[in-house]
Amino acid sequence: MSWVTLSRPGKIAPSIIVTFFLTPSLALLNISDSHPLAGSVATQIIHVNALQGLVSIRDNNVLSEWDGIMDYTNTLLAAKLFSKMACVLAKMDQAVFPSLADVSKALDQQDLKHYPPTHGLTYTVLPSRVKNLAQYGVAIRDMCRDVPTYFAQQQKEGTALAIDPDSCFSLQILLFMGLSICGEIPGL
């Protein structure tokens, strides 16, 4: 006795079409890459999760090592500064930060030269400590769990600051932008 399995002709074609159209969009959900930083022996490892609206950054520069998360859903930047043993949270200025699509496209095309020039932003650490990391999502909670976490406020462009430049920590996000997080972190 032989068994013959027949499939219904109406179900194969839609499956193929769904697979054909869904596969390219799934490829854009998660993109990871490693980029050398100009003027440094360090690299940045960047992972884009478009489905969750997150960009994770690992900068392994020995002199200024940091991890970061750009949470586009909540417009938050979180940076874990290893030399300061602290995390800093800040609101992302959507007019200045690269969009999630720009970061994805830059990583996908491996060509960062045609993107906007570096923007520079300065943030000042506020003295009060963040008490409940869970409210900022699992990724930020997990990254900042073991270190004190503080909010930082973006300084308006052109505002004169009386900040000790030695208290600043510089971050470079690809070639898109540079950030300075300044001020004394309480207790350190």
DSSP state of 130: P
- pLDDT tens track for 55-101: 999 998 877 889 999 999 999 999 999 988 999 999 998 888 888 88
109, 167 in Cβ contact below 8 A? no
In this prediction, residue 8 has a pLDDT band, given cuts at 50, 70 and 90, of very low
CB 96 within 8 A of CB 154: no
Question: What pLDDT is recorded for position 24?
Answer: 40
Q: Which residues pair with 178 in a beta bridge?
A: 120, 172
Instruction: Report domain extents, the chain.
Output: 30-182
